[in-house]
Amino acid sequence: MEEKVKISILCEYYGKLLTKTQYEFINDYYNNDLSLSEIAENNNITRQAVRDIIKKGEKKLFEYEEKLAFMKRTLNQEKKIEKALLELTKIQKEASNKQIAKIIENLKKELNCII
């Protein structure tokens, strides 16, 4: 997974555990696509100060993920659900009973809502 995407996802999970400034700067940089210079100008600080705040926030996000592993578990669950959906599709194609096919279709809908 690309580093920027990973940090953006980690910010969704753990962002509220960061300082308000760390959260806002990381959110602006990764999700709102602002440059370090734009963030610095908006907050009347140096570009280097913005970079330092973002780097400290990133470090915290990775520490939280290392200890809590929410993102890892979520990605693993999504993979398992996708695998289950594939297996259900195989069964559905081979099923001759309409009632079984309907039950499988309902299960697939439920699993798709989880992803």
Structure confidence at residue 90 (pLDDT): 83
Structure confidence at residue 60 (pLDDT): 98
Q: pTM for the complete prediction?
A: 0.75
The more confidently predicted of residues 13 and 91 is 13
- Beta-carbon count within 10 A of 33 CB: 9
Q: 115: burial class by Cβ within 10 Å (0-12, 13-18, 19+)?
A: exposed
Q: How confident is the model at residue 104 (pLDDT cuts 50, 70, 90)?
A: confident
